[in-house]
């Protein structure tokens, strides 16, 4: 096998930016797009897709969602998946949740209402059956009816139909009832999931892929042990790998890590993008530590509230904080020590910022 270098790994990681098709093409190719509600200057899912979908506009996924082969689900975090990927996650066996312990009858009530309606808003459900408020996973408070909808969604008994001002609307999920009645073989579900993660985030340190698989226990709460076994088998028998500067990397066997010419474009990449998500790989391949600091107290931030790593060719050379004031995009772009901001770099950066203006509709 050709010798593997950090440059080859960086180039292989950038491959997902090389093909720009339709929104559905990108969803199918990625298999999972992580979601996050912070908008700075756009939500995480939009920042990921704008780099991979031709002429993509912020909010397009939410607008087109009802017409796409896409569902909201969790693997390994919360986000958007094609239904073929969602079929890997179900049936999902879940123990008693807090909402069921506090309101034992509520799920049956909500199930019955979901069967009667084509679409259900959480506020409408609260008006119909009422309930108090319970703590949510983020330390805040949610209505019990909203938590019941979340629980049924996680179980695969409800689906998100669309969002209205950011609020999820629900309906029953007959397509997942069919999956529960005729599930894929367990071995196939788990093996395909491991390979999906390896392709989405790879090339990846083996330890990082193991961590992703561990996170996927939320997608497979009853199959966590079996999922770890599938990971070990894939690493041993199916994925390719090499030790690069003392770090063991793995990637799909069908990938060719070659010396493809580097694209000299500048790209501003979102913090939840597969290129940035694994901080271990980022620091090893780019030589500096990127941190997501939205939840860090302002005086302690070093990069900014929602810093976007700046890539030139396959290398992360700095970071940018973008903000919108009226119809103006403001960009604070910083580069790492030793990086020369040449005329070529500035021209490519200007082109990327213009892409962001179009993406944001400015």
Kindly report, residue by residue over 16-43, the tens digit of the pLDDT. Answer: 887 789 999 999 999 999 999 999 999 9
CA angle 11–14–18, rounded 5-degree value: 115
What's this model's pTM, rounded to 2 decimal places? 0.92
Q: Are strands 158-164 and 141-143 parallel, antiparallel or unpaired?
A: unpaired
- Is the confidence at residue 141, as pLDDT, over 80? no
Radius of gyration of the chain (CA): 22
Q: Quick one: 101 exposed, middle or buried, by C-beta within 10 A (0-12, 13-18, 19+)?
A: exposed
Length of the chain as a residue count = 362
- Tell me whether residue 203 is in a domain: no
Mean pLDDT, range 198-219, rounded to an integer = 94
Q: For residues 123 and 129, give the distance between their C-alpha atoms in angstroms, rounded to a whole number.
A: 10
CA distance 302 to 324: 21
Strands 167-172 and 33-34: unpaired
Which residues have C-beta within 8 Å of that of residue 132, sequence separation ≥ 6? 143, 144
Q: What is the CATH number of the domain that holds 121?
A: 1.10.10.10
Tell me how many helices (H) and strands (E) the chain has: 15, 14
Interval 156-184 mean pLDDT: 94
Residue 136 pLDDT level (bands cut at 50, 70, 90): very low
Is residue 297 assigned to a domain? yes
pLDDT tens track for 254-296? 998 876 666 789 999 999 999 999 999 999 999 999 999 999 9
Whether 295 maps to a domain, the answer reads: yes
Using omega within 30 degrees of 0 as the cis cutoff, is the peptide bond preceding 41 cis? yes
The alpha carbon of residue 70 and the mean position of all alpha carbons in its chain are separated, in whole angstroms, by: 13
Does some domain include residue 15? no
- How many structural domains does the chain have? 2
Do residues 69 and 24 touch, judged by C-beta distance below 8 A? yes
pLDDT tier at 147, thresholds 50, 70, 90: confident
pLDDT of res. 1: 46
Mean pLDDT of 239-257: 94
Structure tokens at 176: 């997942």
Average pLDDT, whole number, for the chain?
92
Q: Can you tell me the distance from the alpha carbon of 29 to that of 251, in angstroms, rounded to the nearest whole number?
A: 16
Give residue-wise pLDDT tens across range 92-131.
998 888 888 888 888 999 999 999 999 999 999 888 886 6
Domain boundary among 156, 180, 204: 180
Region 295-299: mean pLDDT is: 95
Which of 190, 256, 219 has its CA nearest to residue 74?
219
Mean of pLDDT values over 2-16: 87
Range of the domain at 330: 266-360
The DSSP string of 45-101 is HHHHHHTTBTT--TTHHHHHGGGSS-EEEESSSEEEE-HHHHHHH-S------HHHH
Q: What is the pLDDT of residue 261?
A: 63
- Residue after which a domain boundary falls, among 138, 159, 180: 180
pLDDT value at 150 more than 60: yes
pLDDT > 60? residue 139:
no
Residue 300 located in a structural domain: yes
Q: What percent of the chain has pLDDT over 70?
A: 95
Mean local confidence (pLDDT), 147-159: 94
Q: What is the pLDDT of residue 154?
A: 95
Residue 233 lies in a domain: no
- Of 129, 146, 180, which residue sits at a domain end? 180
The structure tokens listed for 32 are 């999972």
The answer to whether position 2 is within a domain reads no
Q: What is the pLDDT of residue 135?
A: 54
- The β-bridge partners of 249 are 205, 242
Q: Is the pLDDT of residue 241 over 90?
A: yes
pLDDT of residue 137: 47
Q: What is the dihedral of CA 65, 69, 72, 77, to 10 degrees?
A: -120
Mean pLDDT of 207-219: 93
Judge whether 324 lies within some domain.
Answer: yes
Residue owning tokens 């259900």: 120
Provide mean pLDDT across the span 132-143. 52
**What is the per-residue pLDDT for 140?**
45
Q: Please state, in angstroms and as integers, the Cα–Cα distance from residue 287 to each residue in 165, 266, 280, 338, following that order.
A: 40, 18, 10, 12
134 has a pLDDT exceeding 60: no
Highest mean pLDDT among 5-14, 98-107, 349-358: 349-358
């Amino acid at each position: 096998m050709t010798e593997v270098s950090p440059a080859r790994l960086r180039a292989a990681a950038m491959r997902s930016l090389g093909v720009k098709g339709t929104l559905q093409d990108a969803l199918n190719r990625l298999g999972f797009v992580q979601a996050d509600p912070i908008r700075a200057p756009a939500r995480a899912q939009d920042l990921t897709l704008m780099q991979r979908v031709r002429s993509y506009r912020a909010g397009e996924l939410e607008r087109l969602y009802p017409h796409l082969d896409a569902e909201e689900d969790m693997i390994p975090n919360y986000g958007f998946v094609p239904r073929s990927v969602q079929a890997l996650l179900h049936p999902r066996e879940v123990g008693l949740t807090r909402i069921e312990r506090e309101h034992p009858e509520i799920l049956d009530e909500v199930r019955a209402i979901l069967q009667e309606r084509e679409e259900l808003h959480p506020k409408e459900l609260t008006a119909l059956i009422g309930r108090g408020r319970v703590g949510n996973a983020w330390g805040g408070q949610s209505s019990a009816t909203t938590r019941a909808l979340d629980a049924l969604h996680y179980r695969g008994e409800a689906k998100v139909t669309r969002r209205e001002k950011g609020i999820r609307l629900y309906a029953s999920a007959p397509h997942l009832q069919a999956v529960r009645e005729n599930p894929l073989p367990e071995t196939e579900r788990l093996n395909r999931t491991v390979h999906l993660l390896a392709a989405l985030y790879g090339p990846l340190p083996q330890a990082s892929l193991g961590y992703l698989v561990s996170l996927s226990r939320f997608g497979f709460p009853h199959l966590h042990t079996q999922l770890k076994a599938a990971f070990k088998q894939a690493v041993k028998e199916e994925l390719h790998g090499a030790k690069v500067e003392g770090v063991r990397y793995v990637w799909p066997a069908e990938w060719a890590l070659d010396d493809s010419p580097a694209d000299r474009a500048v790209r501003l990449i979102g913090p939840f993008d597969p290129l940035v998500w694994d901080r271990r790989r980022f620091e090893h391949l780019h030589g500096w530590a990127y941190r997501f600091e939205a939840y860090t107290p302002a005086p302690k931030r070093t990069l900014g509230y929602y810093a976007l790593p700046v890539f030139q060719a396959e290398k992360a050379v700095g970071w940018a904080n973008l903000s919108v004031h009226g119809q103006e995009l403001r960009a604070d772009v910083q580069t790492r020590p030793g990086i020369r901001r040449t005329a070529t770099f500035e021209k490519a950066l200007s082109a990327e910022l213009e892409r962001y203006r179009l993406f944001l509709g400015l």
